[in-house]
Structure 1
Amino acid sequence: MTTSRIDLRRGSLITAALALLCSLFFVLPANADPIPFDDCPAGMLCLYSGPDGTGERRDFTEPQNVEAYDATWDGKTLSAKNNTAMWACAYVGAGYGGLLTTVKPGNFAEYTTDPRFTGTLSAHKLVPSRALCFTGYERCPDDRVCTFKEPNGRGAMTVHVPTTDPATQNHGNSYGTEAAPRSAWNRTTKHVCFYPQPTFTGTWDDPASLREFGAYVILRGDSTTIPAPFSGTFRSHELVNGTAECE
């Protein structure tokens, strides 16, 4: 009699336990909320059209630096996951120009609270260190003079293809106000002389020092942010073997 009472109690306890377990399974949601950015593959920079890794997603590998997004994506990024080993640099302006923001390797970013970056991002690049987000000189091809609309090689870039002047035989270019460079890289084997006139002539007056300056020279292989009073005023340049050859 005692034995059957114990068996009965055991059966009741087992039944109660099973009922409790079933009830726990019953109250679990059918689909748990996805973890934000969990869908971003390893080794990719993932850009999303919505916050918290939602909406349309575009993936980029480490070599895929983009100077300007196409019309269907320009200004569309609202969040990002940097699942690479590189720093991600995001830019408001094309050509790595304008305001910029960075994302550490393995981190994510939201662009919904700061109006400077909400619906404004137009370009990105992936680089080994954060400092490289602030320059864009690396775009200049070998054996060319490149001028840039912004300091430090950022913004729209003009690649100058040397021509030969029939009178002087100096390789150079003459260009209009559209160039207006604020930085430049001379990747040629010659020195470059910049001038304020399209005729390879002219001088600059510096009100601060009350001095007059002739050609602005960038030596072979050098890159620089152009200071006042020269910044934004170049209209022509020539390549020379020695700086004494500058007009």
Structure 2
Amino acid sequence: MTITRTQIRRGSLLAALLALLCSAFLVLPANAEPLPFEDCPTGRLCLYDGSQGSGTRVDVAEGGKAERDAGTVLSVKNTTGMWACMYGRPEYGGGLQTVKPGNGDEYVTAGVRWVVGSYKLVPTRALCFTGYERCQDGQVCTFAEKNGRGALTVHTPGLDAATGNHGSSYGPEVAPVSVFNRTAEHLCFYPNADYSGSWTQGATTYGAYVVLRGQSVTVPPPFTGTFRSHELVAGTSECQ
């Protein structure tokens, strides 16, 4: 049988291709390590109890949240279209870490763990800095931290038989730092539990701190954390 030059060329090319394929297989590692967070499905905030996406994974859908019992979280991957807000304390309190869409984050640095106490997924990063949305229509809500963050107290107004005030009286454990008045009336706050007292700032004395209907506010000095009672009024002239 006569072997042509074309057949020789084809045989050489086939041998070269086989050699190339063999060399490619030889450089592949026997047990390739998975990339960090590669198991996180699209459209989820993945919470891991190990570093770099290791350990047990918990998936959170868009808009999900946990004000308490966030569990052990040492790393996260955010594959949603929302911002992930990670807080150092329950009820959106304490320190804040934000994770933009598509990013991951670590909560162990040099052996030091940053505790995740609560979290939520929101449309914009700005919404990570406030927790006022927890207050429902018709409620008076006070918060232990600025901008509606931290422990929330919902006040149910009652009628004080002695004073005739329609409002709430409470102790120092409530210590409001911010307020949301989602009622149809105005709020008059006082430093004493019996709807009385005043504050002095410089040469000015204040008999009540007023939050108008529908307003939210971080309470400024000297009023911060001093409220012990409040009443609901139709007009601010009715404040004591």
Residue from 210, 213, 219 that aligns with 1:217: 210
Contact map agreement 2:63 2:122 (CA 8 A) in 1: no
Matched with 1:37 is 37
Match of 1:82 in 2: 78
Partner residue, 1:188 = 183
Q: How many Å apart are 1:170 and its aligned residue? A: 3.1
Corresponding letter in the other structure for 1:36:
P
Unaligned 5+ runs, structure 2: none
Q: What is aligned with 2:233?
A: 240
* Cα distance, 1:24 vs structure 2: 3.9
Q: 1:237 aligns to what SS in structure 2?
A: strand
* RMSD between aligned residues: 2.4
Task: Give the whole-Å Cα distance in 1 for the aligned partners of 2:111 and 2:192.
Answer: 41
Q: How much identity, in percent, do the aligned residues show? A: 59
Alignment partner, residue 130 of structure 1: 125
- More strand by percentage: 2
| Total equivalences in the alignment | 240
Go from structure 1 to structure 2 and tell me whether the alpha carbon gap of 1:31 and 1:157 turns closer, same or farther (over 3 Å shift). same
Unpaired segments of 5 or more residues in structure 1?
none
Q: What does 1:196-211 align with in structure 2 at a 5 Å threshold? A: 196-206=191-201, 209-211=202-204
Q: Aligned residue for 1:162? A: 157
Match of 2:137 in 1: 142
| 2:99 counterpart of 1:106 | no
Alpha-carbon distance in structure 1 between the residues aligned to 2:118 and 2:211? 29
Q: 1:238 to 1:114 in 2, by over 3 A?
A: farther
Paired AA for residue 225 in structure 1: T
- What is the DSSP-based 3-state SS (H/G/I as helix, E as strand, rest coil) of the residue aligned with 1:3? coil
Offset of residue 34 of structure 1: 1.3
TM-score by length of 1: 0.88
The offset of 1:16, in angstroms, is 7.1
Letter in 2 for 1:179: V
Q: How far did residue 29 of structure 1 move?
A: 2.7
Provide the rounded CA distance (Å) in 1 between the counterparts of 2:176 and 2:169.
13
Could you say which residue in structure 2 is the equivalent of 1:48? Answer: 48
The 3 A distance-change label for structure 1 pair 162 and 16 is same
Structure 2 residue 221 is the aligned partner of structure 1 residue 228 = yes
